[in-house]
Chains A and B, each alone.
Chain A
Amino acid sequence: MSTEIKEKELIKIKSKEAFLSKRRKRILVDPLDENNPISIQVLGICSALAVTIKLEPTIIMALSVVFVMVFSSLITSLIRNFIPNRIRIIVQLAIIATLVTLVSEFLMAYNYEMFKVLGAFVGLIITNCIILGRLEAYAMGNKPYESVLDALGSGVGYAWIILAVAFFRELLGSGSILGFKVFEFIGWSSFPNNALFVDSIGAFIILGIIIWVQRSRNGYIEN
């Protein structure tokens, strides 16, 4: 009896809340800046920096991560009440691994060149801590629609950071953007390409500076 009433109440609350209410908008927008998964939470740096030498593979990588995040959150959230607590990590990893396999097979079929460029790093999306982190922290305890919003927010928050890193690395390291030679176009063909930015070191330094700028802007200070 009481559960029935509770359910009815829940349905009422559900129907009352707007499709993009203020609370839900916060869930979506928070990870973009104030709670950014990379620059504030220090997650998911592993699998992505290596692909940021050029902008194009980074775009593919960002799209793949957003795809895997949104769908793994959706699936986990749908079956969250049936996952035994003790083996939840394995279940979550299996869901993620299945989606990543889909992405990697899709890339292999439709864009083999890109698949070769990304190489093992597509597979390494599995161990991207942001995805597992969001599943553990959010999707395991929240409704599907909100989990998808949360995953989308975190995914895009991650995407813009790695796209920014890739933009500067390609511009300074290869003098181009998406393969378009910027410096030759503006007539500065003597611009020396800085090999440091093609190398991994450039990525660390650019990311460090992006974090600095972003944190000074939103006032987040780490102890």
Chain B
Amino acid sequence: MADLFNLIIKSAFMDNMIFAYFLGMCSFLAVSKKVSTANGLGLAVIFVLTFTAPLNWLIQKKILDEGALTWISPKYATVDLTFLQLLMFIAVIASFVQLIEMIIEKFSPALYGSLGIFLPLIAVNCSILGGSLFMVQRDFNISEATAFGFGSGLGFYLAIIALAAIREKLKYSNVPAGLKGLGITMLITGLMGLAFKTFIGMTL
């Protein structure tokens, strides 16, 4: 249990999706103009990452890996489907996002109102696919994969909320013309990354 908690903290702060791996930058930059919208996107990312990571873990271990199909019949022991990995993962993510969207729309219109428009965006958010690919690369088991997914989502949430808050303040400051918008945001992201670096080496 303590290991899992450590993993969540590590993936949220030290291995932050944005500051350490640049994943999810597009939506991070595009949807961070206001805190309220950033909040919606951040929550949606936590949600989707927490569920797609274990889902893709199952697909990797039960279908794609070499010899993974032996649970159907022992004669499949030599089948290796890893070349389908990318296609499978992105299909799982896209259909999961679609599914979640429909479920939320049906059962919680209020949540759909605040989260709904961000869900389609998430299918092409690199941090989701990146989470699944990293989880395979690092050889996690299923509970670690879930914790990793949740932690990474949390890291994304913290980062985008913080950036949105800074950008709301920034509206009232006098930034050089060419640096307005994306330029100053990149510099701020760099400085925020520097702050997140101070967590390196911390364990609980």
- With contacts A97-B90, A200-B19, A201-B194 taken as known, whether A123 is within 8 angstroms of B85 at the C-beta atoms is yes
Residue B30 at the chain A interface, CB threshold 8 Å: yes
Please give, as numbers and ranges, the residues of chain B lying within 8 Å of A89 by CB-CB distance.
Answer: 94, 120, 123
Residue B77 at the chain A interface, CB threshold 8 Å: no
CB-contacts of B150-204 with A (<8 A): 176-187, 189-191, 193-194, 197
Residue A151 at the chain B interface, CB threshold 8 Å: no
Comparing A25-33, A126-134, A179-187, the segment that makes contact with chain B is A126-134
Please give, as numbers and ranges, the residues of chain B lying within 8 Å of A207 by CB-CB distance.
Answer: 186
Please give, as numbers and ranges, the residues of chain A lying within 8 Å of B186 by CB-CB distance.
Answer: 204-205, 207-208, 211
- With contacts A46-B24, A205-B190 taken as known, whether A211 is within 8 angstroms of B126 at the C-beta atoms is no
Comparing B46-54, B62-70, B128-136, B140-148, the segment that makes contact with chain A is B128-136
CB <8 Å contact, B26 and A104: no
Residue A212 at the chain B interface, CB threshold 8 Å: yes
Please give, as numbers and ranges, the residues of chain A lying within 8 Å of B180 by CB-CB distance.
Answer: 221-223
Partner of B90, one of A126, A129, A209, A215: A126
Please give, as numbers and ranges, the residues of chain B lying within 8 Å of A39 by CB-CB distance.
Answer: 182
What is the bound-complex CA distance between A215 and B186, given in angstroms? 14
Please give, as numbers and ranges, the residues of chain A lying within 8 Å of B133 by CB-CB distance.
Answer: 120, 123-124
CB <8 Å contact, A101 and B83: yes
Residue A42 at the chain B interface, CB threshold 8 Å: yes
Residue A47 at the chain B interface, CB threshold 8 Å: yes
Residue B4 at the chain A interface, CB threshold 8 Å: no
Residue B29 at the chain A interface, CB threshold 8 Å: yes
Closest beta carbon of chain A to B152's beta carbon, Å: 13
Main secondary structure of the interface of B (DSSP, over half): helix
Residue B124 at the chain A interface, CB threshold 8 Å: yes
CB <8 Å contact, A129 and B26: yes
Which of B128, B129, B180, B190 has the most chain A CB atoms inside 10 A of its CB?
B190
CB <8 Å contact, B179 and A127: no
Partner of A43, one of B19, B26, B197: B26
CB <8 Å contact, B86 and A100: yes
CB <8 Å contact, A203 and B129: no
Residue B72 at the chain A interface, CB threshold 8 Å: no
Please give, as numbers and ranges, the residues of chain A lying within 8 Å of B110 by CB-CB distance.
Answer: none
What is the bound-complex CA distance between A120 and B85, given in angstroms? 11
Residue B125 at the chain A interface, CB threshold 8 Å: yes
CB <8 Å contact, B86 and A104: yes
Closest beta carbon of chain B to A142's beta carbon, Å: 21
CB-CB nearest 9 A-B residue pairs? A222-B181, A208-B186, A204-B190, A216-B178, A46-B126, A120-B133, A215-B178, A45-B25, A208-B187
B-side residues, CB < 8 A to A, are 19-26, 29-30, 83-87, 89-91, 94-95, 120, 123-130, 133-134, 137, 176-187, 189-191, 193-194, 197
A-B contacts besides A104-B86, A127-B128, 13 pairs, CB < 8 Å:
A45-B22, A47-B23, A50-B23, A89-B123, A93-B91, A93-B124, A97-B90, A101-B83, A126-B129, A127-B124, A202-B190, A203-B22, A215-B179
